[in-house]
Structure 1
């Protein structure tokens, strides 16, 4: 059995795909990376050369996210036949191990028993446009070092047992929480104002093509132009988040563990996902990691 595979689905998002490939492709080897090319885009195919590229039709569909996660669920379970761990998530979500361990993610997973689900702590990389003026032309962490807690992205995304993953990847039907202190998921949506605006333009176009309203579509509100707001104002608001003196995230993980419970009668499990109004400066050891 191979140690770990990484799986994502992407359409057009070259900026995030390049970061995904730098991270997982270099660490795991591209032969252990699986990219679902939604719409069979040539740019995605070119960037992901050497990976296992799975081309699928790109027709607009109101239930896009439901179909996507049904497919990803089945791919994860198939890959488990050949890998001890499968990392699955959106192309702008990257899992890392704290460099203080002295190991990268692959090395760290070699020490982790199989037959479980791992849930990294979600952190959103934010572009502080009032103080971070460097253009991203390679690694993201370094030019960007501010993060905010993102419980919505504390996703059970490293799978090594038979389970079902909910739409969006936010819940599984695995009844125990494994949230190691050294494991993080960095969400990159807000890491750069310019890229954010371009990405939102594309997603607004995709949602419009479905012909669905916000209530009808099984995708997030942020895909719709009418729910978007003004881009610069979104980033200016990051200045108002309360800066924490230390990079101490243990209270957030304690909250996850304390509130872990069944999600009603769905068969899935969840924990509280409060909205934090805080931010942290990443320690220098994370620079260059993504």
Structure 2
């Protein structure tokens, strides 16, 4: 690892998601100056929240949803990412409900782990999706308390192991799930916690908003955004219920050895798009208990 500290920037784009944006700001502001946090606000009707004071906030015009809408957004984000790499050594770009942490057992700090991108080009963290097992954790979320103490259950979602830590320009697929970078560096210490499913009530309300956007921008069935936007509220509700019917969450050392091996061994390039993707891990409804060592990190 290089001896000089890396100059690292964090980027997200957001509209109306103040709950997740507050978590995002508070998490990364513990590691870098707020001037290194770049927030793209989607729409001139958006007001920068007070809790983001000191961050680099750029307000953009809202684009009209329609065919190719979100793919154009991801092209813009890749261009912005490349621009920041003109001044930063490493750029970390994620959706606002995605938080990256190091495994405390690794003994490596977040910035030390991210800085390794200077050597390998692109790093992919291992992704777990925080899910609301409301049969076990029925209470509403308290934003003043650690999230993983209130929602200590996850499932593996390999699609969210995104090539999101970069030291060189990349081209991303829709949603940022894949890139044109030909090497997979699935980091052993870094975990991406996807928080979309962290609270049932919040999730269903958010999905209803997405559905309204999709219905107005997708009159002919064309691709407007990724699959996460097209699920109905009923489908989301049924999925959360399916987690309960699968059984009690399993204990885990959180190493996920066979899952990592499958993702790595299945590394392939899609010739139609030029994007590289991991092998799939089909583990949709199996939930795991978050180990104690992670529970105060978010």
TM-score normalized by structure 1? 0.91
Partner residue in 2 for 1:207: 214
Q: Please give the secondary structure, in 1, of the residue aligned with 2:225.
A: coil
Partner residue in 1 for 2:193: 186
The question of whether the paired residues in 2 share the 8 Å contact of 1:7 and 1:89 is answered with yes
1:257 matches 2:264:
yes
The question of whether the paired residues in 2 share the 8 Å contact of 1:12 and 1:44 is answered with no
RMSD: 2.1
Separation of aligned partners in 2, 1:90 and 1:267 = 23
Superposed displacement of residue 233, structure 1: 3.2
Please, which moves more after superposition, 36-45 or 161-170? Answer: 36-45
Separation of aligned partners in 1, 2:140 and 2:30 = 23
Match of 2:101 among 84, 96, 101: 96
1:136 matches 2:144:
no
Partner residue in 2 for 1:287: 295
Q: How does 1:140-151 map to 2 (within 5 A)?
A: 140-151=147-158
- What is the CA deviation profile of residues 133-158 of structure 1, one whole-angstrom value per residue up to 9, with x for unaligned ones? 33322331111110000011111110
Divergent runs of 4+, >6 A: none
Separation of aligned partners in 2, 1:284 and 1:43 = 37
Match of 2:79 among 74, 77, 99: 74
* Number of equivalenced pairs: 288
- What is the CA deviation profile of residues 164-210 of structure 1, one whole-angstrom value per residue up to 9, with x for unaligned ones? 22221111111111012111111111111121122112222322332
- What is the CA deviation profile of residues 194-231 of structure 1, one whole-angstrom value per residue up to 9, with x for unaligned ones? 21122112222322332x14731321344347x33255
The question of whether the paired residues in 2 share the 8 Å contact of 1:4 and 1:32 is answered with yes
The question of whether the paired residues in 2 share the 8 Å contact of 1:114 and 1:161 is answered with no
- What is the CA deviation profile of residues 73-108 of structure 1, one whole-angstrom value per residue up to 9, with x for unaligned ones? 001101111112111111111111111123431233
Partner residue in 1 for 2:182: 175
Separation of aligned partners in 1, 2:209 and 2:41 = 16
Unaligned runs of 5+ in 2: none
Match of 1:241 among 246, 249, 255: 246
The question of whether the paired residues in 2 share the 8 Å contact of 1:65 and 1:218 is answered with yes
How has the CA–CA distance of structure 1 residues 111 and 90 changed in structure 2, closer, same or farther, with 3 Å as cutoff?
Answer: closer
Separation of aligned partners in 2, 1:221 and 1:269 = 19
Separation of aligned partners in 2, 1:217 and 1:185 = 26
Separation of aligned partners in 1, 2:238 and 2:272 = 40
Please, which moves more after superposition, 114-123 or 228-237? Answer: 228-237
How has the CA–CA distance of structure 1 residues 164 and 232 changed in structure 2, closer, same or farther, with 3 Å as cutoff?
Answer: closer
The question of whether the paired residues in 2 share the 8 Å contact of 1:181 and 1:250 is answered with no
Unaligned runs of 5+ in 1: none
Match of 1:272 among 266, 279, 284: 279
How has the CA–CA distance of structure 1 residues 85 and 275 changed in structure 2, closer, same or farther, with 3 Å as cutoff?
Answer: same
Superposed displacement of residue 27, structure 1: 2.0
The question of whether the paired residues in 2 share the 8 Å contact of 1:86 and 1:160 is answered with yes
Q: Please give the secondary structure, in 1, of the residue aligned with 2:262.
A: helix
Q: Please give the secondary structure, in 1, of the residue aligned with 2:186.
A: coil
